[in-house]
């Protein structure tokens, strides 16, 4: 094992053999993700529930496939897989399914938080996200079902921490974290029965899918940047 290999963490490692084939598979997976996204969002706009049920389960596996061809770390794959679990749970309109979905997404946020590590993030963002958390929970609290208040508050804390820490990887991941927070806030306002935008599920999925793609892109870009630094040393 060379000195470079010893110094490169497994999540940032990349290999050259088969790069052309992986690149082709990656492009195919990303195109598939884009097509499935358009079809899913189109189904939501059209109010075609069977289309949403058909295309939504395809989204995260395709994004995972793309990420794997780009040398994705295991924690990123796990975060996206837990997102897929949440996606499947939220296809069912029941409180238990909502709680299971929230739990799956929460595990994904833990994976992201571990992945982001201890890189510094701007302290002003911490204040902004903290104010957003407190304000949102305070406003929603009285309108949420009593048995969902504590789970939603705990999940909101974890989600906000993930969104804040995502900025440590740069603007791409930071935007992804912010959009994830926005998407789940839209879900929470629906649970609280606040007035909604037309086709609220469309906006929830649009911001969520953009969030997952940007988070994955930010993590992969950070891995590539690390490898370049190691090779230059």
For residue 227, what pLDDT is reported?
62
CA distance 190 to 141: 13
**pTM summary value:** 0.89
**H runs (alpha helix) in the chain:** 3-7, 19-46, 49-69, 74-89, 95-116, 123-141, 149-166, 171-191, 200-232
Classify 230 in phi/psi space as left (phi over 0), alpha (psi -120 to 50) or beta: alpha
Which pLDDT tens digit goes with each residue over 121-152? 888 999 999 999 999 999 999 999 999 999 99
For residue 17, what pLDDT is reported?
57
Which pLDDT tens digit goes with each residue over 49-102? 999 999 999 999 999 999 999 999 999 999 999 999 999 999 998 999 999 999
């Amino acid at each position: 094992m060379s000195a470079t290999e010893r110094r490169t963490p497994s999540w940032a490692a990349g290999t050259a053999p088969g790069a052309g084939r992986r690149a082709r598979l990656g492009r195919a997976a990303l195109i598939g993700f884009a097509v499935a996204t358009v079809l899913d969002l189109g189904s939501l706009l059209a109010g075609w529930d069977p289309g949403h049920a058909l295309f939504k389960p395809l989204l995260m596996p395709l994004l995972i496939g793309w990420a794997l061809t780009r040398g994705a770390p295991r924690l990123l794959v796990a975060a996206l897989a837990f997102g897929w679990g949440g996606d499947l749970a939220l296809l069912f309109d029941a409180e238990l399914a909502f709680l299971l979905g929230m739990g799956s997404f929460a595990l994904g946020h833990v994976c992201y938080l571990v992945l982001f590590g201890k890189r510094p993030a701007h302290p002003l963002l911490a204040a902004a996200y903290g104010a957003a958390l407190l304000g949102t929970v305070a406003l929603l609290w009285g309108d949420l079902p009593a048995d969902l208040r504590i789970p939603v508050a705990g999940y909101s804390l974890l989600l906000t921490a993930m969104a804040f820490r995502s900025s440590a990887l740069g603007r791409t991941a930071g935007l992804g974290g912010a959009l994830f927070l926005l998407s789940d806030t839209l879900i929470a306002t629906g649970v609280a029965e606040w007035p909604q935008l037309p086709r609220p599920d469309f906006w929830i999925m649009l911001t969520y899918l953009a969030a997952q793609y940007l988070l994955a892109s930010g993590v992969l870009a950070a891995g590539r940047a690390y490898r370049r630094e190691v090779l230059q040393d």
